[in-house]
Structures are given as C-alpha cells and as structure tokens.
Amino acid sequence: MNDRMQQAFNDQINEELFSAYIYLAMTAHFEAMNLEGCAAWMNLQAQEEVMHAKRLFDHVNRRGGRVVLKSIGEPPVDFGSPLETFEKALAHEQHITGCIHDLYRMAQEESDLAAQLELQWFIDEQVEEEENTGRAVDQLRMAGDDQVALLMLDREFGARTPEEEE
C-alpha cells in the first residue's frame, strides 16, 4: 500500500480507537446514572470499535505497511440525558461514516483494490452502526419523560449481544 493510503489507514485506526474511548466515557456516564442496560450497550459498542481498529491495523500489516499509533483525544465526561447521549453517539457514527466514505474514495483514486475490498466491509458496517444507534434514539424519543418506559428500554438495551465478525 502506498504512503498516502498507509497514512489514511493509520488516521482511521486513531478515529476508531477514539470512538472506543467516547463509548467507554458514555458507559461511565450511564453507570453513574444507574442505567446498567444503557451502560452495557455502550460498553459493547466500545469493544466493537477496538475490533474495527484492529481490523484496519491487520490490513496495514498484511499489506507490508507500518502501523503508527497516535495519541487518543480526551472524550467528554457528561453527555446529558439518555436521549442526548444516544443522539451524540448517532452524530459520531455519521461522522465516522463520512471518514470511511472519504477513505474509500481515496482508495479508488489510488487504484488500491485491496483497500477498496476491505473498506466495503466498513461501509456495510456503518449502515448497521447508524441503524442500531438511530433505532435507540427513536425509541428514547418515544419514551419521552416516561420513566417507566425508560427503565423498560434500559432493560432492552442491556440484552444487546455482540456482533459476529465475518
């Protein structure tokens, strides 16, 4: 893989690890509110982000490139209400989708077919990420100020299971 692609993959590894950091901060935020199901949902999300970073990491290595890990930014501490927190998670996923699409377009410009194939998995994954997070946002909006509905949703979010990697 050429230098431009290698650098862009390294930047994306950093984006994915920062995502994990944000979701861990959201886990802590929900733990502090005693919303264990929401916390478990975010914790699972954080683990998936580490898996995404590792997938890009492996791709760079398998192509004879050099992984360079950069420092990870500090995430916020307070994300607001459960709805506001999930809305921020959705906005973050939309940002990551944009990054993946830019990376794919770069791979096309550079005629890097192997990177394009790898990134197709991520394009598909982002559809799922936005779908899952968007559903949670919609459900929390429906619950509104109803505390019982919120507790029921918390239980449902806690039942989320890890995604199988293909």
Q: Which residues bind ligand OFO (CB under 6 A)?
A: 16, 19, 49, 52, 93, 96, 129
Smallest distance, Å, CB 141 to ligand OFO? 21
Are 40 and 24 in contact, with CB atoms under 8 Å apart? no
**Is the CB of 73 or the CB of 144 nearer to ligand OFO?**
73
Shortest CA distance to 28 belongs to which of 46, 13, 15?
46
**Is the CB of 29 or the CB of 52 nearer to ligand OFO?**
52
**Is the CB of 149 or the CB of 160 nearer to ligand OFO?**
160
Burial 141-159 (b: 16+ CB within 10 A, else e): eebeeeeeebeebbeebee
Q: Which two tokens stand for residue 18?
A: 């920062």
Smallest distance, Å, CB 125 to ligand OFO? 6
Q: Which position's Cβ is nearest ligand OFO?
A: 19
Smallest distance, Å, CB 88 to ligand OFO? 12
The angle formed by the CA atoms of residues 30, 32 and 33, to the nearest 5 degrees, is 65
Smallest distance, Å, CB 55 to ligand OFO? 9
**Is the CB of 87 or the CB of 129 nearer to ligand OFO?**
129
Helices (H) and strands (E) in the chain, counts: 5, 0
